[in-house]
Chain A
Amino acid sequence: MTVATFTVVLALGSCLAGLVGALTGLGGGVVIVPLLVIAFGVDIRYAIGASLVSVIATSSGAAATYVREGYSNIKVGMVLEIATTVGALCGAMLAPHVPANGLAIVFGLVLMYSAYLTGHRGDDAVDRQPPDRLAVALQLDSVYPTPEGERPYHVRHVPAGFGLMYIAGVLSGLLGIGSGAVKVLAMDQAMRLPFKVSTTTSNFMIGVTAAASAGIYLHRGYIDPGLAMPVVLGVLVGSTVGARLLTVAKTGWLRTTFMWVIIALAVEMLYSGAMGRL
């Protein structure tokens, strides 16, 4: 295969990943690394570098829309970004000391967890408790738009959310993914933010988290322009089209299908890692 063919095929594959990622709300990043490693035989370190920059592209593109719609909580995002960037720096520094097989196994486990989370969507319980003192001190409580007008919400368990965000950052720096699933868990489950606020704030934070480890990956020579170019452009086109289609497409069956694709990739990554084939 020549560079030209490789570029076109990879761009089409990345476009599909970005499209499905946007339609299902899971992001395409989580499937880019397995796609490169399993289908294209790329070394996992180059794959992680390329995935990391594509994650920045989709996060920044989508966040531009969400921030304007007023769902993202910028203060919550900023406080938690301290935890995710420190985590991402730790993850990126840890990465060279973990063998490729180890990375593949951790990746497989994170994929399994993402697939599990796909089947569970949080619902917004009505919160009647008094505000949390730390959240008030940090000015985190806010409002979000609903069809019935703006609805106020309280933020809870800031330290637990902060700790989970550190873990999300480490995984992001180690594996070159957005760790959106762990971020949503921290905000939705631990901090009790409304679901839409969790997902959009998570998306808003992903770019910053990925940028923290991308600098280190660049210096270490993990980011190859010839490989990253089709991945970034493909994912960007796919996720932009996906975001536009989101309002007209029915995504239930797509979510289920994508969940099974993720499970299959997870099994393959775990198997390859355990057999030492990477």
Chain B
Amino acid sequence: MNGPPAAWTDEEFDALLGHVLRAGVVLSALIVVCGAAVFLARHGQSVPDYRTFHGEPGDLRSVSGIFGDMRSGSGRGLIQLGLLVLIATPIARVAFSAAGFVRQRNWMYVSITLTVLMLLLYSLGTG
């Protein structure tokens, strides 16, 4: 961090968005792999049933429930956490875009980006 922060050029901005996306995908894949190891070690020999739809239990449906599962060391909970990181990745990308437009003082695009961000958070928060 040398000198005062200048407005980002479009190229620097694009590179940052690329890093955010890649980091999110890699982090998510790592968590899913860890969860898969626990899940397969415990349930690998049981018989899967996806033919009829039951819906997932309550703890796998909400952000707080998933964090609770993770603390209890559930493989399914850990996979679900990885999937949650994956869903959050494009949302983080939009948030970083908003920050980038603020630094470029492009207020029209700040409001467009925040609109998209609110729609995404609405989906994840309330369902």
User: Which residues of A does B touch, CB under 8 Å?
Assistant: 1-4, 6-7, 36, 40-43, 45-46, 53, 56-57, 59-61, 63-65, 67-68, 70, 72, 74-75, 78-79, 81-82, 85-86, 88-89, 92, 138-139, 207-208, 210-216, 218-230, 232-233, 236
Contacts and interface: CB of A to CB of B under 8 A. Distances in A.
A219 B62 CA distance: 6
A223 B83 contact: yes
Contact of B97 (A74, A211, A220): A74
Interface string B79-92: 11001101111110
Given A60-B21, A212-B119, A53 B51 contact: no
Interface of B: 11, 13-15, 17-19, 21-22, 24-25, 28-29, 32-33, 35-36, 39-40, 43-48, 50-53, 55-57, 60-62, 75-77, 79-80, 83-84, 86-91, 93-94, 97, 106, 108-109, 112-113, 115-116, 119-120, 122-127
A68 B15 contact: yes
A60 B89 contact: yes
A57 B86 contact: yes
Nearest to A227: B50
A86 B119 contact: yes
A61 B53 contact: no
Contact of A214 (B56, B79, B87): B87
Contacts of B83: 53, 218, 223, 225, 228, 232
Nearest to B23: A64
B14 A68 contact: yes
Given A223-B80, A227-B50, A211 B87 contact: yes
B120 A4 contact: no
Contacts of B53: 43, 45-46
B32 A85 contact: no
A215 B84 CA distance: 9
B79 A208 contact: no
A78 B113 contact: yes
Contact of B32 (A2, A72, A75, A233): A233
B61 A219 contact: yes
A249 to B, nearest CB: 23
Contact of B55 (A2, A74, A222): A222
15 contacts: A36-B50, A43-B50, A46-B50, A64-B19, A78-B112, A211-B87, A211-B88, A214-B123, A215-B124, A215-B127, A219-B61, A220-B61, A224-B50, A225-B39, A225-B79
Nearest to B106: A139
A215 B40 CA distance: 26
A259 B47 CA distance: 34
A179 B77 CA distance: 29
A57 to B, nearest CB: 6
Contacts of B108: 138-139
